[in-house]
Amino acid sequence: MCGIVGIIGREQVAPLLVDALKQLEYRGYDSAGVATLQDGVLDRRRAEGKLVNLDKLLKENPLGGTIGLGHTRWATHGAPTVRNAHPHTTPRLAVIHNGIIENFAELRAMLEKDGYVFETETDTETVAHLVTRALDRGLDPVEAVRETLPQLRGAFAIAIMFKGEDDLLIAARNGPPLAVGYGDGEMYLGSDAIALAPFTDSLSYLEDGDWAVLTRSGVVIYDETGATVERPVQKSAGTAFLVSKGNHRHFMEKEIHEQPEVISHTLANYLDFSKGTIRTDAAPIDFAKIDRIAASACGTAYYAGLIGKYWFERIARLPVDIDVASEFRYREMPLSKDSLALFVSQSGETADTLASLRYCKQQGLTIGTIVNVRESTMARESNTVFPTLAGPEVGVASTKAFTCQLAVLASLAVAAGKMRGTINEDEERQLVRELSEIPRYANQALRLEPQIEAISRDLSQVKHVLYLGRGTSFPLALEGALKLKEISYIHAEGYAAGELKHGPIALIDESMPVIVIAPYDHWFEKTVSNMQEVAARGGKIILITDEKGAAASTLKTMHTIVLPDTPEIIAPIIYALPIQMLAYYTAVFMGTDVDQPRNLAKSVTVE
Ligand code: F6R
């Protein structure tokens, strides 16, 4: 989940590397570093914490050179200190790494026995010394890397620059993504297209096991057998990736506000608004022939999948087994070849989700992935890609990707219902009409922002919060709790409202706000009964409901957030917005780093 970048260029590269790292900082921000080669001599600058610290350091103490490496770190092995920051160097080379070298302890012991002295606690330093040892034995850089790679176990994207080699970068991929960028007499390496967007839109993606030798005049790519291979050069969306906050204080705020628009783009991919049907090309999978869906994802994407389960089962009578990917991948569940394996991911790179996808592929299942980053590994390895058109999501806490995932899942559930004959044409048209209204309702939900900001001020004073919901509001309760804890650091739990009396009710007292998500749907009355149980024990209720729900509830609440009456299928998408705004404003009042909360990274490419 670190971000890596390499440039062999014509201009001074240090400022360019920092520009690229700015695009990659969403992958980790525990430390950052840059190394360059000037007149054959290696030098580096590294700083703890965010990239601004490195930027400052480079301004005070610049680095020259037209070839270099840059890294932004999400710490796995070793504390986030300057000493453990990448690039790691030996007298002969500098290396940057994203991922985990699983056998680093045994490699380190072997290298130490041979007299190599380690300066850090990182796994990456073993790569630096292994390649150095091969160079010390007289191999040239290419041969040294060729000899080293088979000794590494684990997941890695690495890039190496060699002392005295002003026209050479070597990179390798086994797991985390790595793109090669093509310029005019310049070549680039980056963890993703976003990193390279400031320089080029011509990219090729290394496959697992590939390694690449870059010079200013081009690249030679080898596969794991050592044979040279061609990887197609693709045009990425290039500068479209360059994102800014615009007039917003944070990316998260901007991304919350973008939702009506990006959901509308996403829906246009799946719905034929003029005919009022699902587009025939939107779901190139015969859901009538599928006996069940085996789904998995992580975090927010998992909660989207959980809501999708309710839709597929109710609308299409299609059973869905869904699990968090870190469990799914090791559970060895029996899978039928007639099942669809469905994955949900914003980045398309999350290590556990990718491993689950590969597991299902090995078992011979058809792979469908709902994914935001079209060039991602998951997109490339799937039989069918269901894109979300959320655009780049920079805030570490997922918002617009989540609601776009929901828009896709709802559309697919309707498509499946139609194919399986569980809904007729009129019902399809009705559901499509309802889905097409999401952007309008989402805009109305955004108008509640001032009220939600005021409520958040109260929320920022508390230590614990419970979220409750039933039906599709239950996964939303889980998502609400995740959003609040990850950006405000307030402890929060989400529960199925009916589970309250099986334990968590013991937590309720006057200091415990309980956020109840209760649209006026066919679960409403039952949820109200659960609210009564909370109120009877002095719990402070923040009710998120609609006009009908507000009129029907006679309970005294601390606050009631009233959304418009929405059709049932789209409620989880519309209710996601107040949930996100509550977390956002609470974090703003707490003064936390909203876009880059502590200990987190946007793309989790380690397990
Ligand atoms: C929370 C959040 C994470 C991600 C999870 C999966 O706000 O963003 O929980 O949802 O890390 O990431 P993707 O969707 O990239 O697979």
Which two three-digit tokens encode residue 509?
């007292």
Question: Ligand 1 centroid to 298 CA: how many Å?
Answer: 6
Going by the DSSP 8-state scheme, the letter that residue 122 receives in this structure is -
Express each pLDDT in 13-60 by its tens digit: 999 999 999 888 878 888 999 999 999 899 999 999 989 999 999 999
Query: What is residue 160's predicted lDDT score, i.e. its pLDDT?
Result: 98
Predicted structure pTM score: 0.80
Query: What is residue 243's predicted lDDT score, i.e. its pLDDT?
Result: 67
Q: Identify whether 298 is a catalytic site residue.
A: no
Domain range 246-436, its CATH number among 1.10.10.10, 3.40.120.10, 3.40.50.300, 3.40.50.10490: 3.40.50.10490
- On the question of pLDDT at 598 being above 90, the answer is no
Express each pLDDT in 332-357 by its tens digit: 888 999 999 999 999 999 999 999 99
Is it true that domain 3-241 has CATH number 3.60.20.10?
yes
The residue ranges of every structural domain in the chain are: 3-241, 246-436, 447-593
Region 102-113: mean pLDDT is 94
Question: Ligand 1 centroid to 127 CA: how many Å?
Answer: 29
Question: Ligand 1 centroid to 529 CA: how many Å?
Answer: 33
- On the question of pLDDT at 240 being above 60, the answer is no
Question: Ligand 1 centroid to 45 CA: how many Å?
Answer: 31
Q: Is the CB of 298 under 6 A from ligand 1?
A: yes
Region 394-422: mean pLDDT is 96
Catalytic one among 400, 483, 540, 602?
602
Region 466-493: mean pLDDT is 97
Query: What is residue 375's predicted lDDT score, i.e. its pLDDT?
Result: 81
Q: Is the CB of 597 under 6 A from ligand 1?
A: no
Query: What is residue 242's predicted lDDT score, i.e. its pLDDT?
Result: 57
- List the single range of 325-329, 343-347, 567-571, 595-599 with lowest mean pLDDT: 595-599
Q: In what order do the strands lie in the sheet with 154-162?
A: 88-90, 93-101, 154-162, 169-174, 211-215, 218-222, 228-229
Which three-class secondary structure state does DSSP give residue 358? helix
Query: What is residue 341's predicted lDDT score, i.e. its pLDDT?
Result: 97
- On the question of pLDDT at 238 being above 70, the answer is no
- On the question of pLDDT at 239 being above 60, the answer is no
Region 542-569: mean pLDDT is 94
Query: What is residue 237's predicted lDDT score, i.e. its pLDDT?
Result: 62
Express each pLDDT in 54-80 by its tens digit: 999 999 999 999 999 999 998 878 888
Residue 217 exposed, middle or buried by CB count within 10 Å (0-12, 13-18, 19+): exposed
Q: Which CATH architecture has domain 447-593?
A: 3-Layer(aba) Sandwich (3.40)
Which two three-digit tokens encode residue 184?
């005019």
Query: What is residue 145's predicted lDDT score, i.e. its pLDDT?
Result: 97
**C-alpha 159: how far from chain center:** 23
Give the CA angle between residues 99, 103, 109 to the nearest 5°: 125
> Is there a common fold for 3-241 and 246-436?
no
Express each pLDDT in 424-469 by its tens digit: 999 999 999 999 999 999 999 999 999 999 999 999 999 999 999 9
Q: Identify whether 602 is a catalytic site residue.
A: yes
Q: Is the CB of 557 under 6 A from ligand 1?
A: no
